[in-house]
Amino acid sequence: MRFSRRQFLKSGIYATVFSIAGRAVAAIEDEAEILKKVEAFRPSKLARLPANFNSIVGSTHVAGKYHFTDKPFLIEGAERLLSLKTRLGKFWLIPRTIKNDYPFNSKWGDYATLADCIKSEYYRQVLDMPFNTFIFEAHAPVEEGWRRQNLSDDFYKSVGREFYELTKFLYQNYNKRDVVFILQHWEGDWMLRGRGGEMWKDVPANWQDLCNRMIKWLAARQEGVRKAREEFGKSAKCVVAHATEVNRVTDAWKNIPTVTRNVLPHVEVDLVSYSAYDGMKNPVTMWKCIQEIKANARTSTLFGKKSVYIGEIGIPENLQKDNLNERWDSLMGVFLATGMKYVVQWELFCNEIKPEAKDVSIPVKDGNLMRGFWLVKPDNTLSVTGNYFYSLWKRGNS
């Protein structure tokens, strides 16, 4: 029996494999019990992978430093993901950076809005591809100043309008397809703090005000999506959802304000994404980070209460060569056992050159010059990570 996307979100199959697992283990704090549950859910130990596995486990394509064809880079990457048998693709939808995000063999225009950007030729081609889940990192030019104080109501209305128009477009054009579209932002704790890598060793005096501004900004995005979904999505097969993303969960345990504890409880969104690098110390830490997010999340009825997914997780292979299959299998065991709605590996083609590498020509030809966040290496072979996920996608189903 094949479920529609909307049926699948609410289906008993999904609840049995993921949600019940998450509820059953939510209260577990004993490390031995956590590890026992994780071991049982490792893909290598499962006789069958969860239903629609290939639609809920995928990868990201953005800003890679190499390519292999003469096709527009966005198109090339999307097709490569499909060839690896995943049906979940995560892409960047940011008009200001689009020319740098997908540079090779591409002629991008200038786009004032998210809707204008997604209506462009390359995105329309990707949207017509047989993905079952699209996740878009969506940032509109109009919302870039959300951290400023004393913003007017017109600012929040304009943010809502951006996401209303984007959601409206998706419902009007893809309502007959069983497909999920998720609109999210980049790593929220870095955004809250004003820049990537800002550790807040000295927490600013206005941190609570910054959190309140983020709450209002997220509410405006959510309202735009919700309003368009209410108007255009009632009879649609597709689903358009809005997510916020957290990335510094463990900082809360050091009494540092976080999006997880200081923003999530105060704003309803459809989903919470976790860019999960700070949980990678070991399976128990990852487990506890996920439970921390669930404890604070306010999610709508669209996916259900405490709906969380892994929006980004990667291992730099050139820096961590040992036991990669073991690490990935253990991480996936955590994600399956805790009921993650989606899992997104970072990424298809590596975007990071080693800091010590100098005068590197682009496109990169030598994989040794890169950190190694990849499924496919610059020599066009699958990485260890690539082989691991490809083996799962060959076992799975969409």
- 3-state SS, 198-266, equals CCCCCCCCCHHHHHHHHHHHHHHHHHHHHHHHHHHCCCCCCEEEEEEEECCCHHHHHCCCCHHHHCHHH
pLDDT at residue 23 in the model? 34
Degrees (nearest 5) of the Cα angle 151, 149, 251? Answer: 125
CA-to-CA dists, residue 61 to 9, 19, 65, 73, 97, angstroms: 25, 28, 11, 9, 14
Q: Structure pTM?
A: 0.93
pLDDT at residue 117 in the model? 98
Rounded to whole angstroms, the Cα distance separating 21 from 28 reads 12
CA 258 to chain CA centroid, Å, is 19
CA-to-CA dists, residue 2 to 88, 394, 398, angstroms: 17, 18, 10
pLDDT at residue 398 in the model? 73
First CA to last CA distance, the chain:
13
3-class DSSP state for residue 277? helix
Q: Tell which residue, 73, 196, 82, 98, has the closest CA to residue 132.
A: 82
Fold of 5-395: TIM Barrel (3.20.20)
| pLDDT tens, the chain, 398 aa long | 333 444 434 333 333 333 323 333 344 579 999 999 999 999 999 999 999 999 999 999 999 999 999 999 999 999 999 999 999 999 999 999 999 999 999 999 999 999 999 999 999 999 999 999 999 999 999 999 999 999 999 999 999 999 999 999 999 999 999 999 999 999 999 999 999 999 999 999 999 999 999 999 999 999 999 999 999 999 999 999 999 999 999 999 999 999 999 999 999 999 999 999 999 999 999 999 999 999 999 999 999 999 999 999 999 999 987 899 999 999 999 999 999 999 999 999 999 999 999 999 999 999 999 999 999 999 999 999 999 999 999 999 87
Q: Tell which residue, 272, 322, 311, has the closest CA to residue 292.
A: 272
Ranges of beta strands (E only) in 230-370 are 239-246, 271-275, 308-313, 343-345
